[in-house]
Structure 1
């Protein structure tokens, strides 16, 4: 049994060595478009915290950040992680890092070997996979 219930929300933070905010925004947009094609409920830009005291409200996206609402099926998590792994492999030699977080559990992927990435991804997905009925824990 799990210690904490699954929220069904995956936080993704992307980075690329030497990338400025504009480049990161473009990369994040490409990945967001890919993830929206998968079996997930929603993919949105991660938002910064609330506005500073005494200022007007504003909505600022965190550059390189995405929130994925996975829905009720664990297959969504598997497909998202597979898409991210593929995205990492298309880096054209530039070091990219992806940080995945579900309920405080973090997986960071970058220059690990393919075998090591596979092992880490399997551990992460297995920890958050649904029961035999394919549904997230209540």
Structure 2
């Protein structure tokens, strides 16, 4: 199950510097997990006339995972990070192959239900053991 999870952090009213800072905080937690890699997400090409070399999606990370348990750890870590945050307008969007889970200030019950649906859709197929 080699999968890349695109993680996008958003915060109401945050400028580019603030968004970069909070994304780095989340990255610090994600790299501690049993994941293959956590890298900046590629963005769109730099506008003509700018000096950008490789565009990076502001607030974006790519998390490479090898099994469904790692995916569960990523989601659990993101939810914990959001709960500890002081900003009520902060959201984290997780995407796998076009399937999106957006976590925000929803009730714990609503988020738990959405998380379980997302994890179930991306679990290893029946009969295939997760490493």
* TM-score (ref. length: structure 2): 0.88
Q: Is residue 37 of structure 2 the alignment partner of residue 74 of structure 1? A: no
CA, structure 1 residues 115+92, in 2 after alignment: closer, same or farther (shift >3 Å)? same
Runs of at least 5 residues in structure 2 that lack an aligned partner in the other structure: none
Q: List 4+ stretches of structure 1 deviating above 4 A.
A: 51-57
- Name the counterpart of 1:16: 11
Deviations 1:20-71 (A, max 9, x none): 1111101100111110110100000112134557987711221110000112
Q: Deviations over 1:110-133 (max 9, x none)?
A: 121001101100100110011451
Structure 1: gaps (5+ residues):
1-5
Secondary structure, counterpart of 2:38 in structure 1 = strand
Output the aligned Cα RMSD. Answer: 2.0
| TM-superposition CA deviations, 1:64-93 (whole Å, max 9, x none) | 10000112x211100000000001101225
The alignment of Structure 1 onto Structure 2 pairs a total of residues equal to 129
- Offset at 1:7? 5.4
Which residue is 2:33 aligned to?
Answer: 38
Contact 1:11 1:67 in 2 (8 A): yes
- 5 Å matches for 1:78-89? 78-89=72-83
1:24-63 matches, within 5 Å, as 24-51=19-46, 58-63=53-58
Which residue in the other structure is 1:134 paired with?
A: 130
TM-score by length of 1: 0.84
Q: Compared with structure 1, are the counterparts of its residues 105 and 52 closer, same or farther at alpha carbon in structure 2 (3 Å cutoff)?
A: same
